[in-house]
Amino acid sequence: MTSDTNQTAVAYFASGCFWGTQYYFDKAPGVISTRAGFMGGHVDSPSYQQVKTGQTAHLELVEVVYDPTKTDYEALVRLFFETHNFTQTDGQGPDIGSQYLSAIFYSNNEELSIAKKYSDILTQKGFEVATALRKAETFWPAEDYHQHYYDKNGSTPYCHIYRKIF
């Protein structure tokens, strides 16, 4: 989703606990800002306490605002796949539950095509990709204490690790 007024674009990625997802996207070249939040459920303005039950159908995810003159959606999709276990079907690492599933929420057909391209590449490499490709819905920001969690606490992700795949 590109905004003509300030030349930014927005992407949405769910790869388990949003703390780890945000940690890696914050460090990516061309990323302007990120926000941890929720998408895909049936409750308006959900709280973390509601989402963590798994009963709202929301996924934890990160909204990534980036400068398309400095990076592109493909680079972000590659980083997404390289920083989590996209083959896990029940959550991410020790975080089990529907709120921790792997998904790319696309905003247009171009984003969907790019997401499919990389999912297909991984399948051709022999991976069983569990990442869902879903149309973007309303983004609900998580509470302030979830934003940039690892930076605030001086630690690193326990469910996410970078590994070069592409």
Three-state DSSP state, 132: strand
- Identify whether 70 is part of a domain: yes
How many domains would you assign to the chain?
A: 1
- Identify whether 18 is part of a domain: yes
- Identify whether 160 is part of a domain: no
- Identify whether 165 is part of a domain: no
Domain with 10 in it? 2-153
- Identify whether 25 is part of a domain: yes
Is residue 17 annotated as part of the catalytic site, yes or no? yes
The enclosing domain of 68 has a CATH number of 3.30.1060.10
The residue annotated as part of the active site, out of 17, 36, 51, 101, is 17
- Identify whether 161 is part of a domain: no
Token pair of 130, please? 């569990």
Q: Look at residues 12, 27, 13, 9 and name the one whose alpha carbon lies nearest to residue 68.
A: 9
Q: pLDDT tens-digit profile of 78-88?
A: 999 999 999 99
**What pLDDT is stored for residue 145 in this prediction?**
92
Q: pLDDT tens-digit profile of 96-130?
A: 999 999 999 999 999 999 999 999 999 999 999 99
| Model confidence at 132: pLDDT above 80 | yes
Average pLDDT over residues 57-76: 98
